[in-house]
Amino acid sequence: MKEYTIQSIVRVFGWDELAAEDRLLIEAAKNATSGSYAPYSGFCVGAAARLQNGTVVIGSNQENVAYPSGLCAERTTLFAANAQYPDQPVVSLAIAARNKEGFVARPITPCGACRQVISGVEQRYGHPICILLYGTDGTHVIDSIDALLPLQFSDSYMK
Ligand code: THU
């Protein structure tokens, strides 16, 4: 039997330790929560994607009375970015969430389906996406979806 270990690195930054462009992207994600439609969960999630040319595209969770038909903030954002700027790699994705008490202290992490979509976007453009998970206690920074979705499927397995 052989065994191997998979390591994920998450760096936690205080607000003042973040690069200015990352702070701006997080602010965009926080502002994007105002476009959330979350009458069922009451949980408003915003995301902001920065593209290689500097454009910022925002999105938010959009719920539906038929619950599974809704979509998370990460996917509304990435699909909007790819639909409007198909030639532009996504380089960073910030995510912020608030409940009725305000922005959460502990950052949320993308659900499994969103991780798969982030993986697909990285593969499509051949570019890692830096993921910024905002919480009032700190921002967790992950350099690529590899850390959140180890052993992900890619077309390299089919060759
Ligand atoms: N949600 C997101 O938009 N992103 C996440 O990373 C986790 C969950 C949304 C889905 C649903 O509208 C609400 O948050 C509660 O799960």
Residue 60 placed within a domain: yes
Tell me what pLDDT residue 55 has: 98
For residue 6, give every residue at least 6 positions away whose Cβ sits within 8 Å of its Cβ, in sequence order, or none. 150, 151
Residue 136 placed within a domain: yes
d(CA 59, CA 79): 9
d(CA 38, CA 61): 7
Distance of CA 72 from the midpoint of ligand 1 (Å) = 5
CATH number of the domain within which 88 lies: 3.40.140.10
27 in catalytic set: no
Q: Is 138 left (phi over 0), alpha (psi -120 to 50) or beta?
A: left
Tell me what pLDDT residue 119 has: 98
Distance of CA 110 from the midpoint of ligand 1 (Å) = 8
Tell me the residue range of the domain where 61 lies. 11-147
- If one counts the domains in the chain, the total is 1
Closest by CA to 6, choosing from 148, 157, 158, 153, is: 148
Mean pLDDT of 124-141: 98
Residue 30 placed within a domain: yes
For residue 5, give every residue at least 6 positions away whose Cβ sits within 8 Å of its Cβ, in sequence order, or none. none
pLDDT tens-digit series, residues 93-119: 999 999 999 999 999 999 999 999 999
Residue 79 placed within a domain: yes
Mutate to test the pocket of ligand 1, among 61, 62, 79 (most ligand atoms within 8 A of CB): 61
Tell me what pLDDT residue 12 has: 98
Residue 2 placed within a domain: no
Residue 140 placed within a domain: yes
Secondary structure class of 132 (helix, strand, coil): strand
Burial of 27: CB neighbours in 10 Å, binned 0-12, 13-18, 19+: middle
In this prediction the pTM is 0.97
Residue 155 placed within a domain: no
d(CA 94, CA 152): 21
pLDDT tens-digit series, residues 133-147: 999 999 999 999 999
Residue 153 placed within a domain: no
**Whether the CB of 73 sits within 6 Å of ligand 1:** yes
Mean pLDDT of the chain: 98
